[in-house]
Structure 1
Amino acid sequence: MKTRAIRLYGVNDLRLEAFELPQIAEDEILAKVITNSICMSDHKAAEQGASHKRIPSDVDKNPIILGHEFCGEIVEVGKKWQGKFKVGSRFSIQPALNYKGTLDAPGYSFQYIGGDSTYVVIPHQVMELDCLLPYDGDAFFLGSLAEPVSCVVGTFHAMYHTTNGSYEHQMGIVEGGNMAILAGVGPMGLSAIDYAIHNPDRKPGRLVVTDIDDARLNRAQDLYSIEDAKQNGVELIYLNTKNSSDPVASLLDCTEGKGYDDVLVMAPVRMLVEQADAILAKNGCLNFFAGPNKTDFTASLNFYNVHYASTHIVGTSGGNTDDMRESLHLMEKGLINPAAMVTHIGGLSAVPEAVINLPNIPGGKKMMYTHLDFPLTALSDLAELGKTNEMAAELAKLVDKHKGLWSAEAESYLLENCKKRIEE
């Protein structure tokens, strides 16, 4: 089987190449990739090359396939796994394998598996660790988003609270409690709002979402309305803190001065961290979700409250396999829709430039269709492109139909009508 893939040879040395995949062994699986979502971790991998902790030192001689947020269909199943997996089934993959203590992961460490490709050989480690996850949803791009969504799911599960007189930690957000998501209307923040409102197992009673831009807040409210939240048992408040003389007081006023049981900080800004600490209720938990670029990033915390009010701090940067399963399940049931994460689409040949320049490209997730060939395109640009391009015009209509979001309907149209395809 021949595949075409984006292979990494060294620092920002990404090449679109065609090559033969080896015949699968009895403990391997051959799969077709349909979508892969570009992650900032891909940019870091390209930027660091062989010095990256997950990338082999001999990558210049044995290049790896980039991409770890992918979804596709099983093409051939090795003998060992034929009782568990079937040809034609859709799948997603948990890339953080932790196989025998190694950091090896699809999209970083292997020659024959990575999301930026047309076909891959799934190695035995993935199945042995139960990291090949069935996906029964109707859109491949949602399967690709399962990994970033799992980071949000994991955040909610990682929150913890204590009980006086006991040393046991109660894991998860406080059911029916006060929750705040600060700087909460970026792609990951929107996903957190979606999960907080629509997760059937545990919800806050009140959710306050902040930002400093009215347009972004209005967009969030259009996607996740106060009325919808109320129907799901959550009082939802959107708050612009930019013009507030005292953001902490404004936030506390939303809780009648009680403070917040759970606070997520979605941007690596010192002022936000300190704001979050100041609004914690007794036994409240602060989750520093945003990953800073600076290794010396610091902020002040009130340790009087740590001692006497039992406030806590935790940081999460990913989800585990159970979090991915939960994400896939909720998407399959239509309970959550992380499409708000996607702001761009593109074909396989657009991957290298998008990965290398990712910090300079605004918006959220870049969803790449690996069997198609077209440039990276912002969803917001489709209408203008549609003036001279029939396919873009139809995609613009479909995006508009779904409140500016990418959708299963738009994906289906793209897969059927894109004329430029990667030859197989």
Structure 2
Amino acid sequence: MKTKAVRLYGKNDLRLEEFELPPIKEDEILAKVISDSLCMSSYKAAIQGSEHKRVPKNIDKNPVIIGHEFCGQIVEVGKKWQDKFKPGDKFTVQPALNLKDNPYAAPGYSFQYIGGDATYIIIPNEVMEQNCLLKYEGDAFFYGSLAEPMSCIIGAFHASYHTEPGKYIHRMGTLENGFMTILAGAGPMGLGAIDYAVHGPKPPKLLVVTDINQERLDRAASIYTQEDAKKHGVDLYYVNTANIDNVENYLLSFTDGRGFDDVFVFAPVRELVELADRILARDGCLNFFAGPSDPNFSALLNFYNVHYNSTHVVGTSGGNTDDMIEALDLMAKGVVNPAAMITHIGGLNCVAQTTLNLPKIPGGKKLIYTNIELDLVAIEDFKEKGKENPLFAELAKIVERNNGLWCKEAEDFLLENAKKI
């Protein structure tokens, strides 16, 4: 079985290649990848090469396939797993394997034959042994690709905690009917957090979302509206903090000076972290969601409030398998719709260049369909491109009917009509 895949050979060295996959072993599974969502974590791995904790030292001789937010269909199942999986099953993978002998090993970083940016892959025994090969019951493949980033959001909400006065017992999770703010929250992951906060199992009473980009805030407000949030018992506000003189006082005014129970920080900016600390209520939880690239990143924390007001800080990196199962279940039931994260689509041919330039490309998630050839294109550019290309003309009509969002109808049309790679 031949596959085409984007492989990492060293720092900034990504190559799209065709090569032969070996026959699967009795404890392995052959699968076809349909979609993969590109992640900043892959960018970090690509620029660091073998210096990255998850990337092997010998990639110059044994390159790894990148991509860890993928969804596809099983093609062939080795004897060991035939009682649990069968050809045709849709699947996604929880990349955080947490292996005892190598806790950093993960699909999309560490393996020669499994990664999201490929046409066909071999899923190794370790993935099934760790219960990290997850069946996907949804109808659109791209939702399966968004399960991993959604699981990161869900994991962060689960990791936050609160206590009762006089009781040193952690009640895990954000505070239901509490006051929540998401700082720098109009980016792709912030949109997912808004969705989960409003439509998830423990909605807050108040949710304030800040950003310094009005265009992103307007898009967020058009997708997750105040009217819909109100139906779920949430008072939702979007705030552009760029031109506010005293942001701290302005945000605290939403709580009548009480402060916020849950504060999420979605950008690794020192001033933002310190603002988050200052607007915490008693027993408030600061969740540092953003992943800094600087290992020495730090910010001031008010330890007077830690001692007397029981404020505290948590941080998470990724979600666990239970978080991913919850994400898949919520998407399959239509409770959350992370399609808002997606702003661009492309084919396997554009993965290398796109990954290496992710920080410079505006917008949200870049969704790749691995079996087609298509240069990266923004959804908002479909209509203009449609003047010369009927494929985009039809895609523009489809997404326009869906509030400007990527959807199953668009995915089906693209897979049927785009050029195969």
| Fold similarity call, TM over 0.5 | yes
Alignment of 1:270 with 2:270, yes or no, is: yes
The worse-fitting range, judged by mean Cα deviation, of 168-177 and 269-278 is 269-278
The 5 Å alignment of 1:240-279 reads: 240-279=240-279
Aligned to 2:60: 60
1:153-201 per-residue CA deviation (whole Å, 9 max, x = no partner) reads 01100101122222221110111111111111111111100000111x2
Structure 2 length as normaliser, TM-score?
0.97
How many Å separate the matches in 1 of 2:57 and 2:367?
Answer: 29
**Which amino acid is 1:147 matched to?**
E
Alignment of 1:8 with 2:14, yes or no, is: no
Aligned to 2:386: 386
The 5 Å alignment of 1:46-195 reads: 46-102=46-102, 103-195=104-196
**Number of corresponding residues:** 420
By how many angstroms is 1:214 displaced? 2.9
**Which amino acid is 1:202 matched to?**
K
The worse-fitting range, judged by mean Cα deviation, of 139-148 and 12-21 is 12-21
Consecutive unaligned residues in structure 1, runs of 5 or more: none
1:270-297 per-residue CA deviation (whole Å, 9 max, x = no partner) reads 2211211111111000011112232332
Secondary structure of residue in 2 paired with 1:167: strand
Aligned to 2:346: 346
Aligned to 1:35: 35
By how many angstroms is 1:359 displaced? 1.4
**Which amino acid is 1:216 matched to?**
R
Aligned Cα root-mean-square deviation (Å): 1.2
Structure 1 length as normaliser, TM-score?
0.97
Secondary structure of residue in 1 paired with 2:198: helix
Consecutive unaligned residues in structure 2, runs of 5 or more: none
How many Å separate the matches in 2 of 1:357 and 1:212?
Answer: 22
Secondary structure of residue in 1 paired with 2:100: helix
**Which amino acid is 2:244 matched to?**
S
1:20-66 per-residue CA deviation (whole Å, 9 max, x = no partner) reads 21111111111100001111111111112222222222211111111
By how many angstroms is 1:317 displaced? 2.1
**Which amino acid is 1:231 matched to?**
K
By how many angstroms is 1:252 displaced? 1.3
How many Å separate the matches in 1 of 2:354 and 2:376?
Answer: 7
Aligned to 1:284: 284
By how many angstroms is 1:8 displaced? 1.5
How many Å separate the matches in 2 of 1:49 and 1:241?
Answer: 37
Aligned to 2:198: 197
How many Å separate the matches in 1 of 2:127 and 2:196?
Answer: 27
How many Å separate the matches in 2 of 1:40 and 1:324?
Answer: 19
Aligned to 2:321: 321
**Which amino acid is 2:399 matched to?**
V
Aligned to 2:302: 302
How many Å separate the matches in 1 of 2:215 and 2:121?
Answer: 42
How many Å separate the matches in 1 of 2:124 and 2:19?
Answer: 18
How many Å separate the matches in 1 of 2:80 and 2:292?
Answer: 43
Alignment of 1:421 with 2:420, yes or no, is: yes
By how many angstroms is 1:378 displaced? 1.1
How many Å separate the matches in 1 of 2:303 and 2:144?
Answer: 42
1:392-421 per-residue CA deviation (whole Å, 9 max, x = no partner) reads 111111122222211111111100111x21
Runs of 4+ in 1 over 6 A off after TM superposition: none
How many Å separate the matches in 2 of 1:317 and 1:62?
Answer: 27
How many Å separate the matches in 1 of 2:238 and 2:9?
Answer: 46
How many Å separate the matches in 1 of 2:292 and 2:405?
Answer: 28
How many Å separate the matches in 2 of 1:49 and 1:295?
Answer: 17
How many Å separate the matches in 2 of 1:365 and 1:338?
Answer: 10
Over the matched positions of the two proteins, sequence identity in percent amounts to: 64
**Which amino acid is 2:35 matched to?**
T
